[in-house]
Amino acid sequence: MPPTRRTATVEFVRGSVRGTRRRALASLPSLFTLGNMFCGFFAILVSIRGQYSLAAVLIGLSVVFDIADGAVARLVGAVTPFGLQFDSLADLVSFGLAPALLAFTLFSQGKDEWDPLGWVVCFVWVACAAIRLARFNTTIDPTADKRYFIGMPSPGAAGVVLASVFAFGDDMQGRDRLWVLLIVLVPALLMVTNIRFRSFRSLVSPKSGRPYGLIATALLLVVGFALWPVVTGMFLAYGYLFAPVLVPVLAPLGRLLPGKLKEALS
């Protein structure tokens, strides 16, 4: 097998490696990335048709696929340069264009005239998502602290829009709901800041060695979304949005946590 280049714990497989098991495994995450892009594109189509809740669900599925492709890539232990670029392009569709169009069509419903303010704010979202993804691709640092993202990740920002659609969908329609634009503008701007947001890759990674944390989190999410979907979505989305402010305030409470749980969250 031709030699591979290694950077930290990520293995970059060259495009010339073909017909091998490693090449096939390295391509596996791209199937999940394709599912991510499909859901994002489908969300755009149904947003135009006025099916806002379905669009929000589809973007939520894009988030699941986005998490899955990263987990699969870490499980396989190989990431291709093609896969990295493909993932960013899919994210721009699913977490850049789709949430912006969902918010714009929902906010503009029932209006006869053009809404320049809504257009500008939604374009800011798309631009910030593109900048966020481009910056992430060009500033990959193997020595950086993998526990944090610099700037709010685009799936997390999209989650704020999704949760808001389910919680305030009826109130978001109409010409006198300018506060709705803040739901789009604030997460958009956070995507391009230097504020650190917690990454939970260690919790969802198949190689984390902490399966209990992953299982417990999955069970809590399943129960929460089954019984209280709107409340669970709002808690997750807005909790992550305000995490940079809440975490320093609540940090002293971390001393009361059991040792293993504290280690899993650190």
Annotated domain spans of the chain: 24-205
Per-residue pLDDT at 16: 44
Query: Quick one: fold of 24-205?
Result: Four Helix Bundle (Hemerythrin (Met), subunit A) (1.20.120)
C-alpha to C-alpha distance for 44 and 235, rounded to whole angstroms: 25
Q: Would you state the pLDDT for residue 244?
A: 83
pLDDT of residue 191: 95
Rounded Cα distance between 39 and 205, Å, is: 23
CA distance 179 to 14: 49
Average pLDDT of the residues in 208-236: 79
pLDDT score at 181: 80
Mean pLDDT, all residues of the chain: 78
Share of the chain above pLDDT 90, in %: 32
- Confidence at 48, pLDDT banded by 50, 70, 90: very high
User: How far apart, in whole angstroms, are the C-alpha atoms of residue 132 and residue 153?
Assistant: 8
Report whether pLDDT(46) > 90: yes
| Residues 49-57, mean pLDDT to the nearest whole number | 91
Q: Specify the DSSP class assigned to residue 14.
A: P
Which of these, 241, 238, 265, 240, lies nearest to 254 by C-alpha position?
Answer: 265
**Which residues, in sequence order, are bridge partners of residue 12?**
5, 79
Return the pLDDT at 157.
Answer: 94
User: Which residue in this structure is represented by tokens 């800041």?
Assistant: 193
Q: Residue 34: CB partners within 8 Å, gap ≥ 6?
A: 90
Does residue 190 or residue 210 have the better pLDDT?
A: 190
User: What's the pLDDT band for 117 if we cut at 50, 70, 90?
Assistant: confident
Residue 13 belongs to what H/E stretch?
none
What pLDDT is attached to residue 227? 87
pLDDT tens column, 135-157: 888 876 655 667 788 889 999 99
pTM of the model: 0.79
